[in-house]
Amino acid sequence: MYEKNVVPLQPKKIVPLWLRHWNYMKHLLTIIAICLLCTVAQAAETEAALAAFNRQVDASNAERFFSCLEEEGFLDEPVSFRRETSHDSLSAMVWYWAAEYYYDAQDFMLSEHYGLRALPLCKAIGDKTMEADCASLLSIVYVRLGDFNNAVTYAEYCNKLDVESGDPNKIASSYNTLAGIYMSMRQPNEAEKYILRAINYIEDTDNMPRKAVIYGMASEVYQHKAMPEQTLNYATEALKIEQKLGRMDKAAIRRTQRAAALIVLECYDEAEKELTEAIPVIEASGNYHSLAIAYNHMGDLLYVTGRNTEGAEYYNKALPIFMAQHDIYNEAHTRKGLRETLRGSDPEAALEHGDRFEHLRDSIYDHETNANLSQFATKMENDILQQINLKQRVRTIVSISVICTFFVLMALI
């Protein structure tokens, strides 16, 4: 018999839990940094292409701009032009899509700038469809800028062209826009008149996406008319359509509309379920305005159910978004919510928010009763604000680049 050589077992190396998490985080940070850098670089390339077109109007520069939009996922297919395409046609196309691009980026000042440049050229080249689309876009931009006189003017301009076309889908869409504008002007009875016209035109079509939009607007109109049952019914119909279409980001917005009605109807558990499902989806979609509205609804729900601390957290999430977008109507709602939810825990902050709410309420009254004066003031500020937006965009690109560099360095440690 001989004795076998026995190799002693080596103790298994135990990796601390924090180190495993850090290794995971390094990979995640690297991915995030790369994605952010790609996004920043692509946006900068798109703006550079637009600037090149503005300096030299030709087919090559136009195609470069549209190629950038395609790479950003803004267009589904490439756009090309014949070399003999007129300067007016090229400029109309590029500037209209620039207006759409900046609206999507929520830079409403630049969207207005390019929309106003594109509209007369659309008319000059006889492209009625693009002319109507441009007028419609400008009407929505002016709603975002709080200039309701101009919003109504361009919405009626669009509606006139749509009625001339005889297309029920287009007619319904422009009536829907007018309803939204009058709703924003706190004229729900006028808004109801237009939304019912829109529904009348869209009912007999098979355009399900547009039906969802119009039913969603009807929900908003009846919310402003304090008719929660109708609000809930239209929001539910819109939600069903969005779910069938697989548009989960839009479905999330419909859930917030349902939640608004459910809060008024005191169906608090169901409202909280809708908002809990909707908010993460809207956060992921990047639709900040709808997200802030969802935060406000959650703040309202938590306030009426006695959870003031949590409610204040959601109002505080909504506040910077509305302030950045100059949305004084929704900011006023948020300030009022903060005044109520902070009374017990931070009375000094509650008082500040209450004062700001009163100021905004007075501003809204002045805006609605002195629309022409407000319009003049807004127009005077447009050039200044546009320069501010440009500087902010540059600072944002630099800041994101610095953050991405930090992430990469951290990931390499």
Please give the full DSSP string across 373-391, using - where no structure is assigned: HHHHHHHHHHHHHHHHHHH
**Residue whose entry in the numeric block shows the structure tokens 């087919």:** 59
| Average pLDDT score over residue span 54-82 | 86
Give residue 81's pLDDT: 85
Give residue 381's pLDDT: 43
Report the distance separating Cα 392 and Cα 394, nearest Å: 5
pLDDT at residue 316 greater than cutoff 80: yes
pLDDT per residue over 268-298, tens digit each? Answer: 999 999 999 999 999 999 899 999 999 999 9
* Band of residue 377 on the pLDDT scale cut at 50, 70, 90: very low
| Average pLDDT score over residue span 227-245 | 96
* Band of residue 404 on the pLDDT scale cut at 50, 70, 90: low
Give residue 361's pLDDT: 83
pLDDT per residue over 76-93, tens digit each? Answer: 777 888 888 999 999 999
**Residue whose entry in the numeric block shows the structure tokens 């985080």:** 25
When mean pLDDT is compared across 63-72, 209-218, 228-237, the lowest value belongs to 63-72
Give residue 256's pLDDT: 96
CB 172 within 8 A of CB 198: yes
CB 131 within 8 A of CB 119: yes
Contacts 24+ apart (CB under 8 A), 402-408: 403/33, 403/36, 404/33, 404/34, 404/36, 404/37, 404/40, 405/33, 407/29, 407/30, 407/32, 407/33, 407/36, 408/29, 408/30, 408/33
Contacts of 11 (CB under 8 A, 6+ apart): none
* Band of residue 178 on the pLDDT scale cut at 50, 70, 90: very high
Report the distance separating Cα 132 and Cα 169, nearest Å: 13
pLDDT at residue 7 greater than cutoff 60: no
Name the amino acid, one letter, at 293: I
- What proportion of the chain, given as a percentage, has pLDDT over 90? 60
Give residue 386's pLDDT: 44
Task: Taking the CA atoms of 294, 299, 305 and 310 in sequence, report the sign of the dihedral they define.
Answer: positive
Give residue 30's pLDDT: 54
Task: Taking the CA atoms of 74, 76, 82 and 84 in sequence, report the sign of the dihedral they define.
Answer: negative
pLDDT per residue over 24-58, tens digit each? Answer: 555 555 554 454 445 556 678 889 999 999 999 99
Two structure tokens written together for 18: 């924090």
CB 338 within 8 A of CB 353: yes
Task: Taking the CA atoms of 168, 256, 221 and 367 in sequence, report the sign of the dihedral they define.
Answer: negative
Q: Was domain 287-368 assigned CATH 1.25.40?
A: yes
Report the distance separating Cα 97 and Cα 134, nearest Å: 9
Give residue 368's pLDDT: 55
pLDDT per residue over 113-158, tens digit each? Answer: 999 999 999 999 999 999 999 999 999 999 888 788 899 999 999 9
**Residue whose entry in the numeric block shows the structure tokens 């700001």:** 356
List, by residue range, all CATH 1.25.40.10 domains of the chain. Answer: 167-266
Report the distance separating Cα 171 and Cα 164, nearest Å: 9
CA–CA distance from 123 to each of 97, 128, 158, 172, 329 (Å)? 16, 7, 12, 22, 34
SS3 70: helix
Kindly report the CATH number that applies to the domain delimited by 167-266. Answer: 1.25.40.10
pLDDT at residue 266 greater than cutoff 90: yes
Name the amino acid, one letter, at 214: I
Two structure tokens written together for 76: 């589904």
Cβ burial, residue 57 (10 Å; 0-12/13-18/19+): middle
Please give the full DSSP string across 42-60, using - where no structure is assigned: HHHHHHHHHHHHHHS-SHH
Report the distance separating Cα 99 and Cα 131, nearest Å: 13
Give residue 173's pLDDT: 92
Provide the mean pLDDT of the chain: 83
CB 202 within 8 A of CB 210: yes
Give residue 138's pLDDT: 96
> Between residues 392 and 68, which one has the greater pLDDT?
68
Report the distance separating Cα 30 and Cα 14, nearest Å: 25
